[in-house]
Amino acid sequence: MRHRHFLKLLLTGALALPMLAGPALANPVVVFDLNTGKVLQHQDAFSRWYPASLSKLMTAYVTFRAIAAGEVQLDSPIKVTKHSAGEPPSKMGFKPGSVMRLDNALKMMLVKSANDIAMAVGENIGGSQAGFAIRMNAEAARLGMTGTHFVNPNGLFSPEQYTTARDLALLVMAIRKDFPQYAPWFSIEGLAVGKKAIPNYNLLIGRYPGADGMKTGFVCPSGFNMIGSATRNGRTLVAVVLGEKSAISRAETAARLLDQGFATPVPNWLTVAAMPSYGDTMSPNDMKDEICKKKAPEEQSEAAPPVADKDVPKSPYQEKLDHVPTLVAVGLGGATGPAPKAMLDKGGQEYADVPLPSWRPDIPAPKGSEPVVVGSATAVQGDQPVKAAN
């Protein structure tokens, strides 16, 4: 009887898996084995959440698919448009018209979490922000990410851009299994842009044994998000952590979940794809007041240095790396490959990135000349400036 009762709970989604031992978790998490897809631990896995820069993982996936389809090459030019150059930080700050190789653009997007570069990649691959978002959502639907919707490639806040921990797990599996050749990009310790060194926001890289990916994200409404992966003895585990209070706490939570996972044998439980939906799957949680209301603007970023508590031992994720980080050089130029197909007109000529002329106000505009907005980014949400989607 007890066995049948547990099975009923399992199938209805009221209790998909027991939580592993450890302190109670406050927000959505999923821990799974990458090779088998088996879920080791989860909580609120189907709750809608603002992804912030975890959106850039889908931007990378759509781009990898475009490369595989022959639409673009790693050495193809990615041009910084006026729109992408205007995106708020975190950003590289290149001027409109600047050109870089696609592979360098992707590395800047994944390591620096540069919003301007993510938008440039999206516009160049999709033809526009809106066009690229259509492709992002098409891939999400194909992968079974039923609780996800995208409107931009960089993760800057929009109430219409949301996901779930379970959906992000599906995306990670697709990236790592479909495109293993790009796995090293997710474990880069830092970038070298000229004489400037840019560290990875993922504090597990270089500090947690076996850490090999993948991405962080932050906007005020989402809190501090993270997907961390690590490989030990041929076994790769992934922890999806959403809504933490700081960059340090999300790294600590991900590390603890990975530790617990490596101490647990591969379970004979459900896979990520087979998890039954449960909980509140409709209302995204908004952490803006909790995370940013009492902080100065310069503190509203995952790049902000944490406030140290003299009575609490320093976290290992606050410490500098115990070795000289390996930096990957990136920058402008070197784009000798063909232009992305989305940036070419029917005659094979590259579109010019110039503003459409406006009609003189003293002359009636001809029919059909009204401006059409194809995707946009708002620099202010209500009375709050948009902060970095890092």
Options 38, 47, 53, 107, the catalytic residue: 53
Per-residue confidence (pLDDT) for residue 311, from 0 to 100: 59
> What confidence score (pLDDT) does residue 39 get?
96
pLDDT at site 369: 36
Per-residue confidence (pLDDT) for residue 368, from 0 to 100? 40
- What was the pLDDT predicted at 148? 98
Strand 29-33 and strand 235-244: the pairing is antiparallel
- pLDDT of 282: 86
Say if strands 235-244 and 327-329 run parallel, antiparallel, or are unpaired: unpaired
**Whether 53 is catalytic:** yes
Phi, psi (rounded to 5 degrees) for 14: -65, -30
Q: Considering just the CA atoms, what is the radius of gyration of the chain in Å?
A: 21
Q: Which of 189, 251, 259, 245 is nearest to 216 (CA)?
A: 251
Task: Identify the burial level of 152 via C-beta atoms within 10 angstroms of its C-beta, where 0-12 means exposed, 13-18 middle and 19 or more buried.
Answer: buried
Residue burial 328-341, b: 16+ Cβ < 10 Å; e: rest: bebbbeebeebbbb
- Six token digits for residue 118: 């993510």
> Which candidate in 55, 76, 113, 158 is catalytic?
113
What is the pLDDT, as a whole number, of residue 1?
41
In this prediction, residue 11 carries a pLDDT of 37
Q: Given 56, 91, 215, 387, which residue is catalytic?
A: 56
The per-residue pLDDT for 312 is 60
d(Cα 369, Cα 203) in Å, to the nearest integer?
50
Verify whether residue 376 is a known catalytic residue.
no
- Angle (CA) 193 195 200, round 5°: 50
Query: pTM for the full model?
Result: 0.83
Q: Other CB atoms closer than 10 Å to residue 141's CB: what's the count?
A: 12
Domains along the chain with CATH numbers: 26-307+317-355+376-385 (3.40.710.10)
301 is catalytic: no
Tens of pLDDT along the chain (390 residues) come to: 444 433 333 433 333 444 444 445 579 999 999 999 999 999 999 999 999 999 999 999 999 999 999 999 999 999 999 999 999 999 999 999 999 999 999 999 999 999 999 999 999 999 999 999 999 999 999 999 999 999 999 999 999 999 999 999 999 999 999 999 999 999 999 999 999 999 999 999 999 999 999 999 999 999 999 999 999 999 999 999 999 999 999 999 999 999 999 998 877 779 999 999 998 888 888 899 988 987 665 555 565 555 555 556 678 888 888 899 999 999 999 999 999 999 885 455 555 444 434 333 444 444 443 333 333 332 333 333 334 456
